[in-house]
Every structure is written in structure tokens, then in C-alpha cells.
Chain A
């Protein structure tokens, strides 16, 4: 076993890693390519940064390509994102033509790599048209949707559906997100990497350092939300919850820690809204962190008493998984992938309003034992279900099934 696999085995158990090696054996040498829209910022890029080394370690040569676009292209794809999550959006035809033309240029640029690949994973809507623009491809193409598309704005979905219908398969995080499509829709929740800088254990000194660095008083309770500045993450709702809870816990401090993603043009506007809502409150710390501030986020999550993810739409919510892995109970929006992780009253609480979040903040801050018990349950739940090894195993299983036809039962020889 290689050193990397041994490190995973130390966390998950040797049987888990041994299973990955056996699943990977029939796939050795297959060329796999992942395509998404950014190498930095957001959950998809984080997953790919960790998924690829492990697949390569298992002797499956895997590359990662980025689709290149300009501000107009990202404006269009951000509208797709908002529309898929249910917002009513209007996208001018000219923007759609620009989106298609950008994909056409990228198809030409990436044609050699993509045409020769055995399996191509296309992540989210941004690069979805690549398939139709490369008619002489030889491999199997899979569309991976990370977005909460439970109730999409139909005109947006109808437009995108034309680009994804021809794929050989698609992957959604939850069954609730699946849409009528003429191919199999596999269900694979995302994961976190326990060996990444974001999730490894830290020395106490490194955790302590974030208090001083950001002016947080370690003697007083601190609640945290880590996420991009995106309206669906409801950072303003978190500030409202903090204000209500602070009436009962006067020493309460709130940290909102986030950064932008290369493919998100709305971040600055939302950040302005957040600053306006914070209204100069010294106990509200609004942090704009660079996309590689993984250890800082790790330390903040470990320093927090409670972690929130009060999203109103959420494909999965890796920050929820990260916090749970650090033994923190999570107060999460009752939506999307958060429901798969936050088991109400067991690993945290699901809430629908700022008032609900405030109630749970007060409850947890006044019940230290309960908080610690929930945190311990949360960590074990992540260990069993949401670590990278499980995720890689499901990708390998999917590739084996695609390679072996549509039999319900495949016996590896």
C-alpha cells in the first residue's frame, strides 16, 4: 500500500482502502478527465483537488480541465445557478449565445484531451454543452450536477436540459434533485478529505492564533458561518439570528467567513449587503478570506462553539460536513443536502427562519454537554458516510457499471 493510501487507512480502516484497490483494479489505465469552471473557490474545486490524487494513486490516470470564460459568460452561468435553485431569472438571448460560443471555443481547445478520454465527468452547467460540440468522442460522458435543482425555474432547466440529455449518465447528490432525463441518474453525495489542510487536526496554538488575528474574544461564545457571499447562503439571515440570540446571550460573537469563487460575479454585491446588515457591530466579524485560506478556516471551525449553515438552498454543504468532522453541532437550513447531514436533534438542528436559528443557538450555548454529545455523534456520522474514501468508491463503482453495461449485478473476476 502506498503512503497516501496508508494515511487514509489510518482514519477509515484498512478494509475501506482495500476495497478501493479492488474496485480500481479492473479500471487501471483508463483515462479519466474532469471538467469544471474554476480551480479555486467553492465545493466542486475542493473536491476535485482531493479526488484526483487518490484516483491517480489507484492507477487511474485522471486529469482536470477548466473551462475558460469571461465576465459575461460567468454572468450567464450564475443566472443558470440561481435559476436552477428556483429563482425567477431572465437571461437575454445574446448572453445564451455567448455562453454557447464560449463552450464552442473551449471544445476546440480541449478536443484532443476530451475525445481520447475513456470517461469524462462534466461538472455543473457551465461546461455542459461540450458533449454536443465534440461529436467524434469515444468515451463515456457523465454530467455531475452539484446544485440543488429540486424545484428549478423551468425555463432555465428546459434550456439546460437540451445540453445534458445526451449524456450517458448523470450524478445528483440527492434523489430529490433528480430530473426527468433519458439516462440513468446516479445518486452520489459529495465528501470531505480528512487529510486536507481544511480538515486535518491542528495544534492548539494555531487555533488560538485566530482569536488574536481577527479580534475575537476567546472568553465569550462564538458562532460561525463559513460560505461564499451568496444570497442562497443567507448571511443576512444569520446576522438576524445572531441579533435575536444576543438579547439572551449578551457576550455572543458572530464570525462570517467567506471568499469569492472565480465563477461567482455576485459575491461583491452580497458582501455589501452583509456589511450593511452588520451595521458596525464590533461583535460581528465579516471576513473575506482568500480561496487558499484552508488552515484559517479549519482553525475558525475548531474555535467556534457552534457552526451555522443557514442556507435557503444547498446542493450539499461541504462546510456542514467540515464542521461536523471537527465535532461541532451544526444549525443548518432545512433544505437540500444539509438534510442528509444534519440529523435534527442528533447531529444538530434544522431550521427554517432566523428565529429558529436563534432558538437553537441559545439552547446549545446553554447546554454544553448536549453540544459536545451532538458534536461527537456528528463526527462519527461523517466518518461513516461523508469522507473522500466513500466518494471515490462510488465513482469507481459508477465507472465499473458504465463499463459493464446496465446489468443490475456485476461480478468482478
Chain B
């Protein structure tokens, strides 16, 4: 396996996210539907990805804020479960994602005689975000250097390269994978390992640990083969 120097180094970036209230709030499933229909697509980005950088206590049970709210505030497990399996990678644009969310909520509204409501102080607040991205000044030239660098990345850097990247790349891949596939050599096993990391159900620090595990395992295989 060729593991020599590469031409284009991988430049490690970091980011900082600002959350902005949109002023839109939903207290029942119908209002949620209407706001999903009308809200800026940036808000959908926030509620699937951006909120990962905001204060959160536990490992997330749901992969997006809509499903979480349906469970915790509406107590409608059926729509919560349906919303929880929405995979943004199925959509090339946020508009496609919006349509799938609308279909699920509309279907649920059609199923019921009553619209599920939340308490007044458990309303869903739609948030959008702005993001500042900067080059950390650190770059790596080989996959081994990248693997060595991953445990030292900040959680926001992990967010930028492994989660945010899926919106920036045309086929929804993370930055590590895109860079590795452009290198000379066979990194298929490492890329496959990264693809198996489900970033939705772990905290960002746990995500960094899992990526490190995958990379370390690949290094071990490589050394012994």
C-alpha cells in the first residue's frame, strides 16, 4: 500500500457557530408543519446539524430537534419515530429535506382527529445559525499524519470536518473521506470504517473518540498486513 507523501495537504479548520432566534414558535403539530414550510432553510440546517454545537447534556436520542420535540413536548411517539429516521443524506438540497419533513407531518395530521399540542412553555423555537470558519494553521500531508492529529482536534473542528462537511460536499461525505479518496493508495478500509461511524447518536467528544478508534484500528491492520 502506498502511504507516501501527498500533493495536497489536509488543512485543519475550526469553526464557531452563532445561533439566532427566528421568532417562529410552534405549539402544536400543525404550527410545526406551517413553520417548516415557510422557515428559511438555514433553520433546517440548524435543527439537524448546528444545534450539535450548542449546550446539550446527554447523548442525543433523536437525530434532529423536530423528532426530539415531538417526543418530549407533544408526546406523540409515532411522529417522533417517523421524524427520527429522516436521513438528510437522502437529499441533495435542504428543500428536499424540507419536503420529506412536511410529508411526514402532514401524514400524521391526516391520521388523527386531534392535533397534538405542547405546553405553552415547551414550544418549539425555530433557530437559524451563522458560522465563522477559520484555518487553524495546522496541516497534514499523509493519512498517517491525519490519523495522529484527530485525537487533538477540538470538538468544533470535528463538527466542521465530519458533520458540517456533509452539507458542503456534493455527495454528502465528510472532509476526511473526500481527502483520503484523493490520495494515492488504498484507503478503502479506512473510508469504509469512517462511513460506519453514526455521528447522530454521540456527543462531539465521543464522535472524536470513535473516529480515532476507526483510524487506529486501520493503522493496526496496516502495520500487521
Show the binding face of A for B, using Cβ within 8 Å.
Answer: 15-16, 18-19, 22-23, 150, 172, 175-176, 178-181, 184-187, 189, 340, 343, 346-347, 381, 384-386, 393-394, 396-398, 400-401, 406-412
Known: A175-B21, A175-B125, A346-B58. A23 touches B133 (CB 8 A): no
A14 CA to B135 CA, complexed, in Å: 16
A178 touches B136 (CB 8 A): no
Are A400 and B57 in contact (CB-based, < 8 A)?
no
Query: Contacts A15-B154, A19-B14, A22-B14; is A178 near B131 (CB within 8 Å)?
Result: no
Q: Quick check: B135 and A412 within 8 Å, CB to CB?
A: yes
Q: Is B1 an interface residue (CB 8 A)?
A: no
Per-position binary interface string of chain B over residues 102-145, scored 1 when its CB falls under 8 Å from any chain A CB and 0 otherwise? 00000000000000000001010101111111111100000000
Given contacts A411-B133, A412-B133, contact A343 B58 (CB under 8 A): yes
Asked if B18 lies at the interface with its beta carbon under 8 angstroms from chain A, I say: yes
CB distance from B62 to the nearest CB of A (A): 16
The answer to whether A185 and B23 touch across the interface, beta carbons within 8 angstroms, is yes
Closest to B131 in A: A409
Q: Kindly state the separation between the CA atoms of A175 and B132 in the bound complex, as whole angstroms.
A: 20
**Bound complex: CA A347 to CA B58 (Å):** 11
Looking at chain B's contact residues, is the secondary structure mostly helix, strand, loop, or mixed?
strand
Residue of A nearest to B137 (CB): A22
Chain B, range 33-68, C-beta contacts under 8 Å to A: 42, 55, 57-58
Say how far B169's CB is from chain A's closest CB, in angstroms. Answer: 14
A410 with B156: CB separation less than 8 A: no
Neighbouring B residues of A401 by C-beta, 8 Å: 18, 130, 132
CB contacts (< 8 Å) of B131 on chain A: these are 408-410
Does B17 have its Cβ within 8 Å of any Cβ on chain A?
A: yes
Whether B57 contacts A346 by the Cβ 8 Å rule is: yes
B21 contacts which chain A residues (CB < 8 A)? 172, 175, 178, 185-187
A343 touches B20 (CB 8 A): no
- Can you list the 5 inter-chain pairs with the closest CB atoms, starting with the nearest? A178-B21, A175-B125, A385-B55, A412-B134, A343-B57
* 13 A–B pairs (Cβ distance < 8 Å), ordered by A: A18-B136, A22-B137, A23-B132, A175-B19, A175-B125, A176-B123, A184-B20, A186-B19, A187-B20, A187-B127, A346-B57, A408-B129, A412-B132
Residue of A189, A393, A397, A410 touching B55 (CB-CB under 8 A): A189
> Which residues of B have CB within 8 Å of A394?
16, 18
Chain B residues lying within 8 Å of A16, measured Cβ to Cβ, are 154
| C-alpha gap A23/B135 in the complex (Å) | 10
Contact at B154–A19, with CB atoms within 8 Å? yes
Q: Say how far B130's CB is from chain A's closest CB, in angstroms.
A: 5
Instruction: Given contact pairs A23-B16, A179-B23, A185-B21, enumerate 12 new A-B contacts (beta carbons under 8 Å).
Output: A15-B154, A19-B16, A23-B132, A176-B123, A181-B23, A184-B20, A185-B23, A189-B55, A347-B57, A401-B130, A409-B133, A410-B132
Closest A residue, CB atoms, query B42: A408
Chain B: residues with Cβ within 8 Å of the partner, total of 31
**In the complex the two chains form, is A187's CB within 8 Å of B19's CB?**
yes
Quick one: given A185-B23, A394-B16, A394-B18, are A23 and B134 in contact (CB under 8 Å)? yes
Interface hub of B128, B132, B154 (most chain A Cβ within 10 A): B132
| A412 cross-chain contacts in B, Cβ below 8 A | 132-135
Q: How far is the CB of A180 from chain B (nearest CB, A)?
A: 5
Contact residues in A for B153 (Cβ distance below 8 Å): 15
- A396 contact set on B, CB distance < 8 A: 16
Q: A400 to B133: give the CA distance in the assembly, Å.
A: 11
Q: Which residue of B lies closest to A175 (CB)?
A: B125
Kindly state the separation between the CA atoms of A287 and B153 in the bound complex, as whole angstroms: 46
Q: Is the beta-carbon distance between B58 and A410 smaller than 8 angstroms? A: no
Q: Which residues of A contact B5 (CB under 8 A)?
A: none
* Interchain CB contact (< 8 A) of A340 among B18, B55, B130, B156: B55
Whole-angstrom distance between the Cβ of A122 and the nearest chain B Cβ: 18
Q: How far is the CB of B220 from chain A (nearest CB, A)?
A: 26
CB distance from B175 to the nearest CB of A (A): 14
B130 touching A409, Cβ below 8 Å: yes
- Contact residues in B for A407 (Cβ distance below 8 Å): 130
Considering only CB atoms, which chain A residue lies closest to B18 in the complex? A397
- Is there a chain A Cβ closer than 8 Å to B152's Cβ? yes
* Distance between Cα atoms of A412 and B136 in the complex (Å): 10
A175-B127, A347-B57 as given contacts; A186 in contact with B20, CB under 8 Å: yes
B58 touches A397 (CB 8 A): no
Q: How many angstroms from the CA of A43 to the CA of B48 in the assembled complex?
A: 33
* Closest chain B residue to A334, Cβ basis: B121
A345 → chain B, closest Cβ, in Å? 11
Contacts of A410 in B (CB 8 A): 130-133
Closest to A378 in B: B57
Q: A19-B14, A22-B14, A178-B125 are in contact. Are A397 and B132 (CB under 8 A)?
A: yes
Given contacts A23-B132, A408-B131, is CB(A397)–CB(B16) below 8 Å? yes
Given the complex of chains A and B, what is the CA–CA distance between A385 and B57 in angstroms?
9
Chain A residues with CB below 8 A from B19, complex form = 175, 186-187
The residue that B121 contacts in the complex, of A15, A150, A187, A397, with Cβ under 8 A, is A150
Chain A residue contacts of B134, Cβ below 8 A: 22-23, 411-412
Per the 8 Å Cβ criterion, residues 5-39 of B in contact with A are 14, 16-21, 23
Alpha-carbon gap, A410 to B17, bound state (A): 10
Most chain B CB inside 10 Å of its own CB: which residue of A23, A340, A411: A411
Q: Do A180 and B23 touch (CB < 8 A)?
A: yes
Interface residues of B in 196-217 (CB under 8 A from A): none
> Of all chain B residues, which has the CB nearest A404?
B132
